[in-house]
Amino acid sequence: MAEERSVSIEVVYRGIFQKTLAQRICRSVVLAARKRGHTGTAFARYGDSPERNGVPAKQFAVVAADELELEASMAKYEPSVVDVSIAVDDTLVKGVESWAWYGRQPIWKPVRANGWLLVTSDKKPDEVLAQTDKAERPYTLGIVPGGASFAGLWVYKDDHTDFRVLGALAKILPQWIALDDAKAASLELAKGDQSAVASVQYGYDATTMRRVKDGEGTSGHEVLQFKKPGWTKMRPGVIVEARKPGERNPYYKKYGARTMRPVVNFDTCIKCTMCWLDCPDECFEVTPEGHYEVVYEACIGCGICAQVCPVKDCIVMVDELKFTDNKDKWQLWKTDHSKYNSWFEDMSGVSADPKKGASGSVPPNANPAANAATNPGADPAANPTTSAGGDE
């Protein structure tokens, strides 16, 4: 390979929650590379502002051999090709669909052939790969140990996700980010805290790499494309058709924002309508029996339904990476009741029969909003929102 003159890195993150984390990673890349005399730029994809909670967004770092080389990467919204893509939440590997990108895209889409996809996750590489779109060119999947982090949010303690990622980058891009430089930069960024250096070393040592061959991955995800019209085709006055009653937006389905999904125990549902009423995205459809089923293509996983549901463990928020599709489950409940219930128990970790109580532990929670929702929300007595009677 000819001598590379620049390297482009993108960080895919959850809007708002991980914005500062993504920014810290991009800044640390440039500052570490600067130690070797390289130059660089760190920037956000401005078009995603104002970001919404959990919506995939991107920040970038470009490091170049000199200022002239860097000019090609300046004044861009986003690079079309990157050497490394970093997903700081493993549910993002199901594909990203942001406000500005028109349709779900495979997480690896901008990664060049033989580039890297780094994912912060506490799962094994193959578990992550099983939910990643089928590769169209080879790349290396790197798992940086650790769950989805909210360290950038002011109410969360720093957990050094940024430094672990920097350590992993030092491993794959030593010509741009030397390990010693990464350590030196982290020490400065952490204002002299030596544990930052240890975190860089840990990211360097503990990141596991897995070569991904052409064709590996899942083909289970829906492909969404939106063609932008020319000015002669657009309606004058910036007019777009409103959705017809009952119709959902065919282009923008929003599920890319989801880190956890609600699953419903139809046996215990009392048809009170609370989830249907309170869902901010009108995601619930009424079944012929009068139950409420989630339309998973429209659900962002905010957890409000689980919070307002007055029945314990009737709506449970579950790690999104456990699911491979967006199909509704109501049909299964109707046709094979016991199979549905064992599926529900397997996914949610709670018993489908309320008399038996919880059968397992609630999985670790990735979404702070959902966190607030699942834990106290299932018990109406413990939930001031529901015990107070909601809107009444």
Partner 1 sequence: MAVEVKTKETNEIETEQLATGCEAIAEAIRLADVDVMAAYPIRPYDGVMQAAAKLIANGKMDVEYIVADGEHSQFEIVKHACAVGARVFVGSSGVGWFYAFEAIAVTAGLRLPVVAICGNRALDDPGAFGTEHNDSLAVRDLGWLLPWAETAQEALDLALMAWRVAEDKRVSLPVAIGLDGAFLTHSQHIVKIPTQAAVDRFLPKFDLGDRLLHPDNPITIAPQVDQDWLMEIRRQNDAAMRNALGVIREAHADFKRIFGRGGESPFLDEYMTDDAEVVVIGQGTLSLPMKVAIRRLRKERGLKIGLVRLKWFRPFPTEEVVKSLRRFKAVGVIDRDYSFGSPYYGGVLYNEIRSALYSQEKRPVIVGFIAGLGGREIEQPMATEIFEKTMAAGKGDLAAGDTCHWIGVRE
Q: Which residues bind partner 1 (CB under 8 A)?
A: 47, 77, 100, 102, 228-231, 234-244
Q: How far is the CB of 19 from partner 1 (least distance, A)?
A: 18
Nearer to partner 1, 226 or 270 (CB): 226
**DSSP code of residue 354:** G
Q: How far is the CB of 79 from partner 1 (least distance, A)?
A: 15
Tell me how far apart the alpha carbons of residues 343 and 220 are, in angstroms, rounded to a whole number: 19
Q: How far is the CB of 336 from partner 1 (least distance, A)?
A: 40
Nearer to partner 1, 200 or 298 (CB): 298
Q: How far is the CB of 100 from partner 1 (least distance, A)?
A: 6
Distances from the Cα of 67 to the Cαs of 2, 29, 61, 318, in angstroms?
Answer: 19, 16, 14, 47
Tell me how far apart the alpha carbons of residues 254 and 297 are, in angstroms, rounded to a whole number: 7
Q: How far is the CB of 252 from partner 1 (least distance, A)?
A: 11
Kindly report the number of other CB atoms within 10 A of residue 278's CB atom.
16
Continuous H helices in 252-349:
274-278, 304-308, 330-335, 337-348
Nearer to partner 1, 102 or 343 (CB): 102
Q: What are phi and psi of 160, to 5 degrees?
A: 65, 20
Nearer to partner 1, 56 or 146 (CB): 56
Q: How far is the CB of 82 from partner 1 (least distance, A)?
A: 20
Nearer to partner 1, 230 or 288 (CB): 230
Bridging pattern class, strands 139-145 and 111-121: parallel
Nearer to partner 1, 77 or 156 (CB): 77
Nearest to 116, CA basis, from 171, 153, 64, 162: 171
**113 torsion bin: left (phi>0), alpha (psi -120 to 50), beta (else):** beta
Q: How far is the CB of 191 from partner 1 (least distance, A)?
A: 37
Angle between helices 194-206 and 179-189 (to 10 degrees): 140
Q: What are phi and psi of 93, to 5 degrees?
A: -70, -10
Q: How far is the CB of 102 from partner 1 (least distance, A)?
A: 8
Q: What are phi and psi of 54, to 5 degrees?
A: 85, -10
| Structure token digits, residue 353 | 């029969």
Nearest 10 degrees: Cα torsion 155, 158, 159, 160 = 150
Alpha-carbon dihedral sign for residues 95, 96, 102, 105: negative
Tell me how far apart the alpha carbons of residues 141 and 108 are, in angstroms, rounded to a whole number: 10
Nearer to partner 1, 44 or 190 (CB): 44
Q: How far is the CB of 227 from partner 1 (least distance, A)?
A: 11
Nearest to 256, CA basis, from 95, 116, 391, 103: 95
Nearer to partner 1, 239 or 388 (CB): 239
| Structure token digits, residue 283 | 């995601």
Nearer to partner 1, 192 or 236 (CB): 236
